[in-house]
Amino acid sequence: MSTHFSSYNARTGEVLGTLTASTAADIDAAANAAAAAFPLWQASSGAQRATLLRALAAGLETGREALVALADQETALGPVRLNGELDRTAFQLRRFADIAERGVPFDYLDDPAVAGAPPAGHPAMQRWSVPLGPVAMYAASNFPFAFSVLGGDTAAALAAGCPVVIKGHPGHPQLTRQTWALIQQVLTAQNLPAGLVGLVQGASNDVGVQLVRHPAIAAAAFTGSTRGGAALAAEAAARPRPIPFFGELGSINPVIALPAELKAKGAELATTLAGSITLGCGQFCTNPGVIVLLDAGLADAQAVNDAFVQQLGQALAGQNPHAMLTHGMRKNFDAGVAHWGEAGATFVVHEVSASGQPPRPVLAQVSAEAFMTKLALREEVFGPSSLVVRAASVAQALQLLQAVGGSLTVTVWGAQAESADVQALVRGAMAIAGRVLFAGVPTGVAVTAAQQHGGPWPSSTRPESTSVGDAALVRFLRPVSLQDAPAWLLARQGRPL
């Protein structure tokens, strides 16, 4: 493994500092320290977990000025966006504090004995939920607060009773270390073991691989690329004792816009969609990467769709995205756009930016047949871009969705009135997505009880789980059934030993 790596200014490429990468011994020590902290933390009360999570939220807010300034240097996301993201992160921590305090991690099902022979008769049973153990948490690049060191995965795991070992993202390494130092201060103040939240860092993939292979790690949570997530998921499955790997990966998030809706308010929707495509320089897992237009259903459907494409192109041309998170991401974005052209897409908006300047928005258009047959057109292009695909019928639109395979979101505009076609489109959307929208745009993921941020492959490795919202807690618990348990154990009411 490389022994050093650098922090860069995302706007200028200037080296901000050089850091020492975690060694194999460092990774071993962090994982073992988490394992040592596990017995204490799994037996902790909901109130104790809530106290820690609230203190971490308060620590973020206290350190806001320095943290946001450093995050802005390393990510170029801007202070407005970063302050909002810090607020969301503090909200997540407090929400999981409330969940822990309400006793949700200790929920249990009491199934009293029924006299008689089976199958009707059965012994007394209780079904508990217990923490999995130390969790390896892989931080994301595009949300340096909300999906990083103190993001939703860390909050959910701690609320569930699991220690965490964080693999920091090399895109914002100094922010990572500063946030982790804040955590250590809080742990010390509460007389909790430092190993409850560990940190490993490095630009080499070896750091993340060694962490997921460590025998003390009981589960892993990841947010990032499909390629990186798939590699780590394979490592988790290949261990002598395989562990669950909860990966939130790439997604192209189709938007299906019915012609009647576009005819009624196409200009408004074009403006809204352009803002979503370029939000955060398009570096969102929920970026609307594919727009499906239906050239059927109205006599003038094709003309309506043509007009919308022009409106969207004009709206996009007026956007000014900021610099991308890293040079590597910019390189991949440019390559992905080039692959569209090589696969036969026609560019509607494709202004080449000046050397050293942020990317310009890209809009391309392609036939349904090409989209379904050429893989390059279905791969995520992470950045301010979107691909228009024209469908000749509802049946073809459904084929397009099946070709996508799996997505975090599908948006259906114009489904207000029920019909057989609308039912079919909604059914098709639900078949491939974790979240289906009927208004607005997919960017922006609410932290709430009913949220589902995860879908079929390739959008995630576990379509039954979510990385955002209250149910994210469930990933780090497993069920245990207690049969004819003694009174002292039942008296614990689901709280692990």
* Residue 326: closest CA among 78, 68, 75: 75
Catalytic residue, chosen from 248, 261, 281, 380, is 248
> Any catalytic annotation for residue 418?
no
Query: What single DSSP character describes residue 150?
Result: T
Q: Confirm if 8 and 16 have CB atoms less than 8 A apart.
A: yes
Q: Confirm if 411 and 442 have CB atoms less than 8 A apart.
A: yes
81: tokens are: 């966006």
C-alpha dihedral sign at 456, 461, 463, 467: negative
> Any catalytic annotation for residue 162?
no
Over its C-alpha atoms, the chain yields an Rg (Å, rounded) of: 24
60 by Cβ neighbours in 10 Å (0-12 / 13-18 / 19+) ranks as buried
For residue 321, the number of C-alpha atoms closer than 13 Å in the C-beta half-sphere is 29
Q: Which residue has the tokens 């807690």?
A: 473
Residues forming beta bridges with residue 198, ordered by sequence position: 165
* Residue 100: closest CA among 480, 479, 481, 473: 473
For residue 77, the number of C-alpha atoms closer than 13 Å in the C-beta half-sphere is 27
Neighbours of 108 (CB within 10 A): 18
Q: Confirm if 474 and 465 have CB atoms less than 8 A apart.
A: yes
Catalytic residue, chosen from 85, 101, 285, 380, is 285
Start-end of H helices in 286-410: 301-317, 327-342, 368-373, 394-404
- Active site residue ranges: 248, 285
